[in-house]
């Protein structure tokens, strides 16, 4: 099972997601998804993780993020630690890489 997302990266991601979309609940890590599937009686057969690039202007426009929240996200990006900047590959225009997961599971 993949490791849980490090707390620093998890906290950053959840903050940015909540600012972008106030109805956001949580971005679960691969490990959290696998644990939830296990609790529901599924056996994970395959788990793949990778990153996709989020074009910042498109990403915030798609959900109509208020300008004040866009500015707050950009402030978090500007103040992000080296570890956060490296993991999410934050670009000058705010675009970044987002972790994604694909899981194949069957009833146990």
Query: What CATH number is given to the structural domain containing 11?
Result: 3.40.50.150
- Residue 26, helix vs strand vs coil: coil
For range 75-97, the mean pLDDT: 98
**What confidence category does residue 4 fall into, taking pLDDT thresholds of 50, 70 and 90?**
confident
| Structural domain total, the chain | 1
Higher-confidence residue: 6 or 74? 74
**What confidence category does residue 5 fall into, taking pLDDT thresholds of 50, 70 and 90?**
confident
Q: Is residue 69 domain-resident?
A: yes
- Output phi, psi for 68, to 5 deg: -60, -40
Q: Give dist(CA 89, CA 26) in Å, integer.
A: 21
Q: What's the predicted TM-score (pTM) here?
A: 0.89
Q: Is residue 1 domain-resident?
A: no
Q: Is residue 2 domain-resident?
A: no
For range 28-57, the mean pLDDT: 96
Domain range for 50 is 7-107
Q: Give dist(CA 67, CA 106) in Å, integer.
A: 43
Q: Give dist(CA 94, CA 77) in Å, integer.
A: 7
**What confidence category does residue 1 fall into, taking pLDDT thresholds of 50, 70 and 90?**
low
Q: Is residue 80 domain-resident?
A: yes
Taking only the tens place, the pLDDT of each residue in 8-38 is 999 999 999 999 999 999 999 999 999 999 9
Percentage of the chain with pLDDT > 70? 97
């Amino acid at each position: 099972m993949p490791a849980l997302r490090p707390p620093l990266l998890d906290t950053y991601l959840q903050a940015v997601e909540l600012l972008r979309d106030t109805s956001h609940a949580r971005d679960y890590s691969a490990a959290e998804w696998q644990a939830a599937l296990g609790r529901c009686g599924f056996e994970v057969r395959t788990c793949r993780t990778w990153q996709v690039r989020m074009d910042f202007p498109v990403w915030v426009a798609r959900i109509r993020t208020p300008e004040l929240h866009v500015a707050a996200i950009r402030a978090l990006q500007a103040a992000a630690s080296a570890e956060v900047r490296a993991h999410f590959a934050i670009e000058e225009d705010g675009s970044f890489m987002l972790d994604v997961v694909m899981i194949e599971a069957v009833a146990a």
